[in-house]
Every structure is written in structure tokens, then in C-alpha cells.
Chains A and B, each alone.
Chain A
Amino acid sequence: MRRHHRILRPSSSAGPGDIGRRAFLGGTGAVLAAALAACTGGGQLAQRGASGGSGGGGALQWWDQFRPLTKMLQDDLFAPYMKAHAGVTVERRQMDVPDLGQALQVARRSNQMPDVHSLAGLGDVSPAALVSEGWFQPIGKLADFAGSPVADLLYDGIHRFNGEIHSFPPFSGRWHDAVPWCNTALLKEAKVDPEEEPGTWDRLREIARRITNGTDGDVYGMVVPSKDPDYLAALVHRLAMTAGAPGPGAIDWATGEYVHDSQPYIDAIEYLVALQKDKVVHPASASMGPRDARARWAAGQAAVYLWGAWFIGGLRVDEPEAVERGVGVWHIPCPETTRNFVYSPPQPGTFWVSKGSEHAKVAAEVLLRMTTREFQTKLAAAMDQPPALAEVVAEAEVHPAYRACVANFQEDVKIGPVPEVGTPGVWQARAEMRDIHPNLGDIVQSVLTGSSTDIGGQLRRYKDQLSAERERAVKAVREEKGVEVDLNAWVFANWDRKADYDQKSYAGR
């Protein structure tokens, strides 16, 4: 469930390695093969991968990784379109994330790309990089995306390249992945009113304590899965933002400097440590990944778990009884009663049309249908990531908690700046940057598992190394490839922390 959400996150956000470790269990070595496929070129693999291929007229090939949306896509998207257009067939293949990435790599090298596909499994690669290598064709002239309900959500450098629309966001960018989901049955057992929102960190801490003390021995107030550093990094980014950190990506937009060692980050990590010291966090948290934690939550072992909007959609598929038992949702708490915003980047495109596709027109038309209010309402009903037209959630058939969660996003989340949008050369510098370890997630993990206590020192070291690496990468691409980019690309002096950083803001920089 989780994987595709991570993939959907734009490349400019938080940390590297957006595919969770858990995902790799499924395909340990999958990316490995992808990487090697990239260097060997074609083969049997591809021929199998694209049996029926896109070249020979025939059906429109569509590859993606959204298992929970399988039925919905078929019934509400492909079937109606095929009915209206005789002679058109859409063949969809759903693959697991690592498999999809690998199949794409090989298909690409042997000229067997599907007509439409998502980018899952290709790692943290920027769509801009793929566009510049000729993966896709523009769809703006094939269907009227500029006049569609999502027109306002299209950005240069994310969806529009060289002035042409290449993709669109079917989901909303206004979301975060630290939503406190609570088990209302356990809350009642501990005599905590689920309606009584813990607006502050301290209140949440107190509620967690009351739940831990007011219930059975092996029920805890919270669960904070710590096996996956990516989860921890995302959580700390969000909490730090509620404490006033800028974002997304821990960058001070006034100067372009990284702020991983600033007070909000230290406070956020110390808050997690305090929860742990109170013994209100499930003691097995350290061995859990995010999905494990959801299962523990569903088993009634912890009452509050901070994760994304898709939590409840996944729960309904895998542990439906936990939904019936009672799910509640709160705003993300802030340290003080004055509320800060949480910042997310604009939602990137999910589906792209291959350069060589002979069904580009049909593909674009099918994709355009995803932007209709009708389809968006159906999308909402899957209770996955919020749909691009988030307002349809109010009338869609969804659980009240999901509706509340999406409504909270409208109040809590602002869209922040993305350097790639302002300066096209940024993606090349980012592709040049090597990973730094220990990164934010690693540091939080080491603190929570007791192998380190020096939060400030570690964060400072990470920030310094990251800054140095960015400088090196910028210099390297400028000098070796002649890319126009400098550190000013990370400066957005007109950023207003209380407003969305919209298209006009980029122009007014």
C-alpha cells in the first residue's frame, strides 16, 4: 500500500531513497536487475515484458503499480471509454514497484515501452531527467489539459517542460504523512474523548500516557515504527514544520541553506525521545516498519499512529474489522497553541505517455478523463491519497475519518517552493549528488534505538556534509556539463510561510 505513495512524492522532497526498505523485501535485487538491465540492453525479458507490445496497433498498453485501484480503473475509466470508442482496447498490467521499474528499464532499451505508464520503481529519478532523455511525449495538444479542472495544478519543471504539458497530477499535493489516526474504541476504554483534539505536542503526550495507563497491559498509547529510516525522516520533517521549520526539504528559503540542525528539528526528535521515555510508545516499535505498525494498530496494541491519508484505505482492504471498531483522526499537533503550517511540494504527474506510442491521442483522452469530477469522486472512494480535486471528498462515499483527514489537510498544509520549478538545471545537480549517511532518518533511528544521544552534533554534521555535497554537485554539473545552476536556485526570498507558493510566486521571485 505504501509504496506508490512514496513514489508519488516529488523528487525535490525530503530525503533520498524514496522507496521504503520494506518495498525492497519484495524485490531484493529487483532494482539490481533494473540497473544491470540498463547497461546490457534488451533481451528476452523485454519481449516477454511487452508481449503484445505497443508498436503493432492493437491495444493500448498501460502499466502501473496501483493494486488497490485495479477494479476502479477498469470499471470507471477504461470500460466507459472503450464503450464510447469502438475498436479501442486498453490492456492494463499491474506490477509491483520494483518489477515495474525493471520492466520499464528493459522495455525502454528494446523499444517496447507501454503507451502509458507510471514511474514507480525507477528510484528517485526526476521526471525532468527522463524527459530530457526522450522518454515521453507531450499530451497538452492531444487533449485539453490546460482547460481541465486540474489546470491550476500544472507546474513548469514538474508537469510542463519546454512549455508543453507532459503529465498531470491525479492526486492532490495538499497532504502530509503524519496524520494522527486513533483507535476510538481504545480511547473510550481509557476514558479519553476522541472528539477532544490534542492540539499540542504535550496534550498528545498526555493522552498517550492516559491510554497506556488506562488500558490492558499490552496496549500502548502510540506506535512509532523505527525500522524504516525513511518513515522516521518524513515524520520528523513534518513535526519540525509544526515547530516552525520551513519546507519542504528542510531548506531556509531566505538563504537557500539546509536547516536540519535547527531548533525545530532538535525539538521534534527530542519529542519522540520523550514519548519513548514515558513508556507510552509500543516497545516493539523499533522492529516495525510502517506496515507492521499499521497491523499492530489494527490488532489493538496501540491507540495512535501517525501516517498518511492512505492509512484507512489500506486498513479497509487488509483489516476491515479495525475500521468497523472505530477510527478517528486529528490535526497534526503543534508544539504550541499557535499553529504552524506543514509544507508539501506540488503533486507530480503519475502517468506519462511514451515517446513512441502510436496511441498517444487515445492515451491522452483516457488520462484527461481522470481529471473529471466524476472520476475524481470515485478515486476519493478508494480512500488512498486525496484526489486532485480534494473538494469532491466532501460528497464522495468515504469514511467520515477520511473526510475529516482531507479537510484537515486543507487547513494544515501549504504548498511550498520547489527549486526545480524555478531553475530547470537543478535536477542535474540533484542527480549528481551522492547520498550522505547517516542521514536524517538514520540519525533519528540511532537516537530512538539508544545508540546515540548527541542529536545536535549529528544533525550539524549531516547538514554540513549535505551542503558540501550540494556545492560539489552544482560545481561539477556547471563546469563539466555547462548546466546553468548555482546555489541561488535554492533561494525563494518572497516565500510567505502562510501562503501557497504558487505559479505567480515563481514569476515574482
Chain B
Amino acid sequence: MRRPEPRQVVTVVLLAVLGGLWVYPFVWLVSASLKSSPEIFGRGLNLLPEEPVWENYARAWTEVGFGTYFVNTLVITAGTVLLVVVRSALAGYVLGRYDFAGKKLLIGLFLVTFFLPEGYTIIPIAQLTDQLRLLNTHAGVILGLGAGGQIAATLLYAGYFRRLPKELEESARLDGAGHFAIFFRVMLPLAWPITATVVILTFLFSWNVYLLPLVFTLSDPDLRTLAVGMTVFVGERGTDWSGMAAAAVISLIPVIAVFVALQRKFVDSIAGAVKQ
């Protein structure tokens, strides 16, 4: 019953064509990042620059201030991930394992707001952040990204904790552990696969998110994230395409490296999420 070889060849060829389509814009980007600006429009399909202009990268790095943006993105991403993990795990634990007054109401509320797209409520959120005196701070952005929403993470934890056996807590309680000790010493470590999933999904979200950090860091360019910094670059220097391309390549490298390195884990952990 083995499939014939030609079929496999066809599959690979089709995949290669499709993959080519997917990767072409990136090849174009890399090629553009090494061209002089006028050359970008020149002669249609030619991807090889006449002479690589490495200076584009230097310009992108110094003028755009990528070092700072990078650190900001890391801080904001790490903060958001931490906030979401702690908050969702705590809530997911009690939602998954205990009955309490108001539980149904809470779950109902979660479901109603599940479809609420980010951005439509940016005005009141920014207003709130301003009143908390957190505009133009990392904390303001982190709270904005991680404090609300993220229902999926809570539900993931709830689903996972629900299936853990009751004996776990009972034996810990016999040892004299309180609610918090049980949670942090027994339950949270057990939930690491979900934690991995939530970390990765939140990482993806906060790495890409654009509107909120933009609005929250408007008057302090030193707080911009990579996504915002790139966009500002595009807006300010609409004609410096080669610089823009170089900047884009710089901003892509770390994420791609992370993805390639963690690919296996990545798929598995999302698989974990979907299975729920």
C-alpha cells in the first residue's frame, strides 16, 4: 500500500512553489535592505543588488534606535507574560477546581467579552491609564496588555486543573500546607505544559501588538517597542525604503531565531492548547 514515489515528488514540488510564494517577500526585503533607494524600484524582478549597501543597516540601527526598542519590547513582553501567567493560573485554579458563588456569572462574562476585538475600547483604556498616571511607562503598557482580556489563558488553566486528581491537594493539606502553598508548590509546577503554552501565545501577542503601545508611549519615543518603532520609521521616512527594509530585517532576526530553536516545543505546546 505504499504510495508511489512520483506522488511524493509532486507534493514536494507543490510545497516548494507555495513555500516560494511565502518566502518571496522576505527575500525581497533582504534584497531591498542591501540596495540603494532608487535601485529598489529598478528593473522589476531583479533581486541581486548591484553592490550591497551595508550602510543601510548602520543607518537603521543608529537612527531608529533599535537597541532601546529591543529592550523595551523585551521588558514589556516579559512583564505581560508574567502578569498573564500568574493571574490566569490563579483564576484558572479556582475556576477549575472549586465551586463558589458567582462562578457562573464570571464564566458568562468571559464568554460575552470573548469576541471583543482589541482596539475598540482603546479610548477608555487610555483614559484609565492616564488617571492611574501610567501613560508613558512600561507598567502602563503591561497592564493594558495583560490585565484584561486573555480569557483563553484562564480557560486553559481551568481546563487543566479540573482534571488533576483530588488526592493531590488532600495529601498536601495533611502535610499542613495552606491554599497558597498548595497552589505554588504543587499545582503550578504540575501545570507547566499549560504555562508553556500560555507563555508562547502571550509572547506572540505582545511581540506583535501595535496600537496600544503606540498610544501609550506617544510622547516618549524612548519607550517605543519594535513594532511601533518600525511603523514610525515607515511613517517618518516614507522614502527610505532600504533603511526600512534593513530595520525590518533586524527586527525579524531574533524572533525567527527563537522560532527555529524552539519549533518543536512550540507546536507541541500549541497542540496542548488546541486539545483543550
Chains A and B directly touch (beta carbon < 8 Å)? yes
| Separation of A296 and B133 alpha carbons in the complex (Å) | 45
Could you say which residues of chain A place their CB within 8 Å of the CB of B234?
25-26
Report which A residues bind B (CB closer than 8 A): 22-30, 32-33, 35-37, 39-40, 42-45, 48-49, 96, 98-99, 102-103, 106, 218, 289, 291-292, 294-296, 298-301, 318-319, 321-322
Given contacts A36-B127, A45-B136, A48-B219, contact A299 B238 (CB under 8 A): no
Per the bound structure, the CA–CA distance linking A27 and B236 in Å amounts to: 9
Contact B211 A28 (CB under 8 A): yes
Of B39, B219, B239, the contact of A99 (CB 8 Å cutoff): B219
Complex interface bits, B122-149 against A, C-beta within 8 A gives 1, otherwise 0 = 1100110011011111000000000000
Q: Are B41 and A36 in contact (CB under 8 A)?
A: no
Give A32 to B127 CA distance when docked, in angstroms: 11
> Any chain A CB within 8 A of the CB of B215?
yes
Specify which of A29, A49, A99, A319 is in contact with B37 (CB 8 Å cutoff).
A319
Given contacts A22-B235, A26-B236, contact A33 B136 (CB under 8 A): no
* Chain B, 217-253, CB within 8 A of any chain A CB: 218-221, 231-232, 234-236, 238-241
Judged by DSSP, the binding face of A is helix
Nearest CB on B from A52, distance (A): 14
- The residue in chain A whose Cβ has the minimal distance to the Cβ of B211 is A29
Which one of B40, B44, B218 has the greatest number of beta carbons of chain A within 10 Å? B218
Cα-based distance from A29 to B122 in the complex (angstroms): 10
Contact between chains at B214 and A40 (CB < 8 Å): no
Contacting residues, chain A, for B176 (C-beta < 8 A): none
Q: Is B25 engaged at the interface, CB distance under 8 Å to the other chain?
A: no
CB distance from A475 to the nearest CB of B (A): 31
Contacts of B221 in A (CB 8 A): 99
| Closest CB pairs A-B (n = 5) | A26-B235, A299-B38, A25-B235, A295-B239, A291-B238
Q: Establish whether residues B219 and A318, one from each chain, have CB atoms under 8 Å apart when the complex forms.
A: no
**Nearest CB in chain A: distance from B245 CB, A:** 13
**Does B42 lie at the interface of the complex (its beta carbon under 8 Å from any beta carbon of A)?**
yes
Question: Quick check: A24 and B235 within 8 Å, CB to CB?
Answer: yes
Report the Cα distance A111→B42, complex, angstroms.
52
User: Is the pair B236, A37 in contact by a Cβ cutoff of 8 Å?
Assistant: no
A-B interface pairs (CB < 8 A), number: 110
Q: Are B218 and A40 in contact (CB under 8 A)?
A: no
Q: How far is the CB of B120 from chain A (nearest CB, A)?
A: 12
B239 contacts A318, CB within 8 Å? yes
In the complex, the chain B residue whose C-beta lies closest to that of A42 is B130
A-B contact pairs, 5 of them (CB 8 A): A24-B235, A36-B130, A292-B239, A296-B41, A318-B239
Residues of B contacting A296 in the complex (Cβ-Cβ under 8 angstroms):
41
With the chains together, A364 CA to B113 CA distance in Å? Answer: 55
B232 touches A300 (CB 8 A): no
Bound CA span A33–B38, Å: 36
Q: Determine the chain A residues whose CB is within 8 A of the CB of B123 once the complex forms.
A: 32, 35-36
Q: Does A44 lie within 8 Å of B136, measured CB to CB?
A: yes
One digit per residue, 1 when the CB lies within 8 angstroms of any chain A CB and 0 when it does not, for chain B 29-47 equals 0000000011111111000
Q: Which residues of B contact A28 (CB under 8 A)?
A: 211, 214, 231, 235
- Which of B39, B41, B211, B238 is the most central at the interface, judged by chain A CB atoms within 10 Å of its CB? B238
Q: Is the CB of A48 within 8 A of B136?
A: yes
By a CB distance below 8 angstroms, the chain A residues around B43 are: 218
B131 touches A43 (CB 8 A): yes
Most B CB within 10 A of own CB, among A37, A49, A298: A37
The residue on B at minimum CB distance from A301 is: B41
Instruction: Tell me if A292 and B131 are in contact (CB < 8 A).
Output: no
Given A29-B211, A44-B137, A39 and B218 contact (CB-CB distance below 8 Å): no
- The answer for the CA separation of A407 and B242 in the assembled complex, in Å, is 36
> Considering only CB atoms, which chain A residue lies closest to B240 in the complex?
A318
Contact of B131 with A40 in the complex, beta carbons under 8 Å: yes
Name which residue of chain A comes closest to B140, CB basis: A44
The CA-CA distance from A322 to B38 in the complex, in Å, is 10
- Chain A residue nearest in CB terms to B232: A26
Minimum CB distance partner of B223 in chain A: A48
Nearest residue (CB) in A for B40 is A299
The answer on a CB contact under 8 Å between B219 and A49 is yes
Interface pair A45/B135, CB less than 8 Å apart: yes
Q: What are the residues of chain A within 8 A of B133 when measuring CB–CB?
A: 43-44
Chain B residue with minimal CB distance to A289? B238
Residues from chain A with a CB closer than 8 A to the CB of B126 are 33, 36, 40
Q: Is the CB of A300 within 8 A of B38?
A: yes
Could you tell me if B215 and A32 are in contact, using CB atoms closer than 8 angstroms? yes
Closest to B124 in A: A36
A36 to B128, CA, bound (A): 11
Contact (A27, B136) CB under 8 Å given A33-B218, A292-B238, A299-B42 = no
User: Quick one: CB contact mask for B199-211 with A, threshold 8 Å, 1 for yes?
Assistant: 0000000000001
Nearest CB on B from A283, distance (A): 12
Q: By the criterion CB–CB under 8 Å, are A27 and B232 in contact?
A: yes
Nearest CB of chain A from residue B132's CB, rounded to whole Å: 9
A295 to B239, CA, bound (A): 6
Smallest Cβ distance from A455 to chain B, in angstroms? 30
A322 to B238, CA, bound (A): 17
Chain A nearest CB from B160 CB (Å) reads 37
Q: Is the CB of A22 within 8 A of B219?
A: no
Q: Beyond A42-B130, A295-B239, list 8 extra A-B contacts (CB 8 Å).
A: A26-B234, A26-B236, A27-B218, A35-B123, A45-B218, A102-B219, A298-B38, A300-B38
- A299 and B41 contact, Cβ closer than 8 Å, known pairs A102-B219, A103-B219: yes
Q: Are A32 and B238 in contact (CB under 8 A)?
A: no
| CB atoms of B241 and A295 under 8 A apart | yes
Asked whether, in the complex, the Cβ of B236 is within 8 Å of the Cβ of A44, the reply is no
Q: Which of B106-127 contact A (CB under 8 A)?
A: 122-123, 126-127
* Contacting residues of chain B (1-53) with chain A, CB-CB under 8 angstroms: 37-44
How many angstroms from the CA of A51 to the CA of B50 in the assembled complex? Answer: 48
In whole Å, how far is B23's beta carbon from the nearest beta carbon of chain A? 23
| Closest-CB distance, B207 to chain A (whole angstroms) | 18
The answer to whether A294 touches B130, judged by C-beta atoms less than 8 angstroms apart, is no
Which of A23, A29, A102, A295 counts the most chain B CB atoms within 10 A?
A29
- Closest Cβ of chain B: how far from A305's Cβ, in Å? 13
CB neighbours (8 Å) of B241 from chain A are 295
Partner of B231 from A25, A44, A300 at Cβ < 8 Å: A25
Q: Is the CB of A106 within 8 A of B219?
A: yes
Cβ contacts under 8 Å, A44 to chain B: 130, 133-137
CB pair B219–A294 under 8 Å, yes or no, is no
Give the distance in Å from the alpha carbon of A318 to the alpha carbon of B41 in the complex.
16
Query: For B239, what are the chain A residues with a Cβ–Cβ distance below 8 Å?
Result: 291-292, 294-295, 298, 318-319
Report the bound CA distance from A318 to B221 in whole Å: 23
Distance from B123 Cβ to chain A, minimum over Cβ atoms (Å):
5
